[in-house]
């Protein structure tokens, strides 16, 4: 950017994202504005973080109230904001789950899930899937099935076997008794918005149970209402032993959680795990308000209605296009898979006032907030139709 201030980002901020040339200064619910006061409909939402809207008023009020009390309290002391979050969160977790681990990001939630699996199973190896994404720290990266993210950092610390996603007929062969756990996203997000087949998750559940292998669902992107149920696994009627969540829970503040089945109890002894910022009252107050929004606004129900309409209109309007291979996804986690790289189209959409992200190289990923209106959807579909209309 030529701007005198923003050039500091180019000069001194280590580069590991390719950047779009807009300076985002403000957001409210499903919209953001740049420094030229251009308004955008946000279906990027920071990789899904702003699912409850930017600066959702209920979450902002909760954060402001908490700022006047205290921001940091370690997990070595009690705190009411934390206890309130836990109380509310357990209302949206199936009763077979009994303990929550608090972290500060999705990758940390995955890290603790892997540690839990190793501690419970006393085994070392994992099975994960091609095209999966579980985070950037070394443990999460070990189970991420994409060369692009891993290559520069090999060898990985964990021993992991990768299997084709959705290959139902290979589950019996690949899930062996020597595994600590199988980790899978119910819908692959970064890998291209690929929903698991119901029979795939059912087979994984059946075989892991038979062979005493733990099953981890990574719901960091799919969780918290995004797919039309609070948890994506509820669409499938398949429960894991451990699941992770993150991204949207605290309305934009950093958070990650892992949840384990009741029978596993506390898992760790004091000292075996910890995190300085985890469970801090500011994030907890935001996350408690996040759960309240989810419940009071009937977010999953709304997502099913809006998401079904969005999917239908996208299919009607785009499936004739030469550029489009298919429309896929679930709820408000949708992808338009193209016959070529998605990046140039994503740039073109920015110029049309629509923010999206790329997934799996060729998919335009749409992760809108739950509060988008029919008018927003129509605008988005018009923009997509225009952007994808010529085959340049
Ligand atoms: C985003 C994501 C992560 C990593 O979350 P961070 O907060 O970026 O560490 C892990 N798993 C899945 C499925 C994700 O989508």
Confidence check: pLDDT of 223 > 90 = yes
Half-sphere exposure for 274 (CA within 13 Å, toward CB): 8
Distances (CA, A) of 169 to 201, 203, 211, 383: 12, 9, 17, 40
Measured by CA distance, the residue closest to atom 7 of ligand 1 is 106
Please give the Cα distance from 357 to 44 (Å, whole number).
Answer: 5
Confidence check: pLDDT of 254 > 70 = yes
What pLDDT, on a 0 to 100 scale, did the predictor assign at position 243?
99
Instruction: Report the candidate in 309, 357, 313, 308 with the shortest Cα–Cα distance to residue 335.
Output: 357
pLDDT tens digit string along 161-175?
999 999 999 999 999
What pLDDT, on a 0 to 100 scale, did the predictor assign at position 320?
86
pLDDT tens digit string along 148-163?
999 999 999 999 999 9
Of the chain, the end-to-end C-alpha distance in Å amounts to: 27
Measured by CA distance, the residue closest to atom 15 of ligand 1 is 221
Confidence check: pLDDT of 392 > 60 = no
Instruction: Report the candidate in 367, 389, 384 with the shortest Cα–Cα distance to residue 52.
Output: 367
Residue whose token pair is 């740039």: 347
Please give the Cα distance from 43 to 48 (Å, whole number).
Answer: 8
58-296: CATH class? alpha beta
Least confident of 1-15, 38-52, 90-104, 249-263: 1-15
Instruction: Work out the pLDDT band at 2, boundaries 50, 70, 90.
Output: low
The mean pLDDT of 230-248, rounded to a whole number, is 98
Q: Spell out the domain ranges in the chain.
A: 3-56+298-387, 58-296
- Helix (H) and strand (E) counts in the chain: 14, 17
pLDDT tens digit string along 76-101?
999 999 999 999 999 999 999 999 99
Confidence check: pLDDT of 60 > 80 = yes
What pLDDT, on a 0 to 100 scale, did the predictor assign at position 205?
98
pLDDT tens digit string along 184-194?
999 999 999 99
The mean pLDDT of 37-64, rounded to a whole number, is 98
106, 108, 287, best to mutate for ligand 1 pocket (most atoms within 8 Å of CB): 106
Six token digits for residue 384: 């997509």
pLDDT tens digit string along 319-330?
889 999 999 999
What pLDDT, on a 0 to 100 scale, did the predictor assign at position 391?
52
Residue whose token pair is 């950047």: 19
| 8 A C-beta contact, residue 387 and residue 352 | yes
Measured by CA distance, the residue closest to atom 10 of ligand 1 is 134
Structure letter (DSSP) for residue 339: S
What pLDDT, on a 0 to 100 scale, did the predictor assign at position 390?
67
Q: Exposed e or buried b for every residue in 186-219, given b needs 16+ CB within 10 A?
A: bbbbbbbbbbbeeebbbbbbebbeeeebbbbbbb
Confidence check: pLDDT of 372 > 70 = yes
Please give the number of the atom of ligand 1 that sits closest to the Cα of 219.
13
Residue 275 annotated as lining a ligand binding site: yes
- CATH number of 3-56+298-387, picked from 3.40.50.2300, 3.30.870.10, 3.90.1150.10, 3.40.50.970: 3.90.1150.10
What is the helix (H) or strand (E) element at residue 52, kind and residue range? none
45, 49, 103, 110, best to mutate for ligand 1 pocket (most atoms within 8 Å of CB): 110
Confidence check: pLDDT of 13 > 70 = yes
Residue 182: phi and psi, rounded to 5, are -110, 130
The mean pLDDT of 223-227, rounded to a whole number, is 98
Measured by CA distance, the residue closest to atom 11 of ligand 1 is 134
Strands lying side by side in the sheet with 97-103:
97-103, 256-261, 242-245, 214-218, 179-184, 125-129, 160-163
Instruction: Work out the pLDDT band at 239, boundaries 50, 70, 90.
Output: very high
Residue whose token pair is 């119910």: 186
Six token digits for residue 220: 């960091």
pLDDT tens digit string along 271-326?
999 999 999 999 999 999 999 999 999 999 999 999 999 999 999 999 889 999 99
Please, what is the average pLDDT of the chain?
97
What pLDDT, on a 0 to 100 scale, did the predictor assign at position 319?
84
pLDDT tens digit string along 339-358?
999 999 999 999 999 999 99
Six token digits for residue 311: 């999917």
Six token digits for residue 223: 């969780």
The mean pLDDT of 11-27, rounded to a whole number, is 95
Six token digits for residue 118: 């190793």
Residue 324: phi and psi, rounded to 5, are -95, 130
Count other C-beta atoms under 10 Å from residue 16's C-beta.
6
In SS3 terms, 212-260 reads as CCEEEEECCCCCCCCCCCCCCHHHHCCCCCEEEECCCCCECECCEEEEE
Please give the number of the atom of ligand 1 that sits closest to the Cα of 188.
13
- Three-state SS at 335: strand
List ligand 1's pocket residues with C-beta within 6 A. 47, 105-107, 110, 133-135, 185, 189-190, 218, 220-221, 246-247
- Three-state SS at 355: strand
Please give the Cα distance from 312 to 114 (Å, whole number).
Answer: 38
Residue 276 annotated as lining a ligand binding site: yes
What pLDDT, on a 0 to 100 scale, did the predictor assign at position 360?
97
């Amino acid at each position: 950017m030529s701007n005198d201030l923003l050039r500091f980002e180019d000069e001194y901020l280590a580069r590991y994202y390719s950047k779009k040339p807009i300076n985002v200064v403000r957001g409210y619910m499903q919209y953001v504005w740049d420094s030229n006061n251009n308004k955008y409909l946000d279906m990027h939402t920071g990789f899904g973080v702003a699912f409850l809207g930017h600066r959702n008023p209920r979450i902002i009020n909760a954060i402001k109230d908490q700022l006047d009390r205290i921001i940091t309290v370690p997990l070595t002391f009690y705190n009411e904001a934390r206890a309130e979050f836990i109380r509310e969160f357990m209302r949206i977790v199936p009763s077979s789950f009994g303990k929550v681990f608090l972290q500060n990001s999705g990758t940390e939630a995955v890290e603790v899930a892997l540690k839990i699996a190793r501690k419970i199973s006393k085994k070392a190896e994992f099975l994960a899937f091609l095209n999966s994404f579980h985070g950037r720290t070394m443990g999460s990266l070990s189970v991420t099935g994409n060369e692009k993210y891993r290559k520069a950092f090999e060898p990985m610390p964990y021993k992991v076997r990768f299997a084709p996603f959705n290959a139902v007929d290979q589950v019996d062969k690949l899930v062996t008794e020597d595994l600590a756990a199988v980790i899978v996203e119910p819908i692959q997000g970064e890998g291209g918005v690929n929903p698991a087949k119901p029979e795939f998750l059912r087979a994984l559940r059946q075989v892991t149970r038979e062979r005493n292998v733990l099953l981890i669902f990574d719901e960091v992107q799919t969780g918290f209402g995004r797919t039309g149920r609070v948890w994506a696994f509820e669409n499938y009627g398949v429960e894991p032993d451990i699941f992770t969540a993150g991204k949207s829970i605290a309305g934009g503040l950093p958070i990650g959680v892992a949840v384990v089945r009741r029978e596993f109890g506390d898992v760790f002894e004091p000292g075996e795990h910890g995190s300085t910022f985890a469970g801090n009252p500011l994030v907890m107050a935001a996350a408690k308000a996040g759960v309240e929004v989810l419940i009071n606004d009937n977010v999953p129900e709304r997502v099913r209605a809006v998401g079904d309409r969005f999917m239908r209109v996208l299919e009607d309007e785009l499936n004739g296009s030469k550029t489009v291979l298919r429309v896929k996804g679930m709820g408000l986690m949708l992808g338009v898979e193209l016959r070529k790289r998605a990046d140039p189209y994503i740039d073109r959409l920015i110029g049309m006032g629509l923010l999206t992200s790329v997934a799996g190289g060729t998919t335009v990923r749409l992760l809108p907030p739950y509060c988008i209106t029919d008018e927003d959807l129509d605008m988005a579909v018009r923009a997509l139709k225009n952007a994808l209309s010529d085959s340049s």
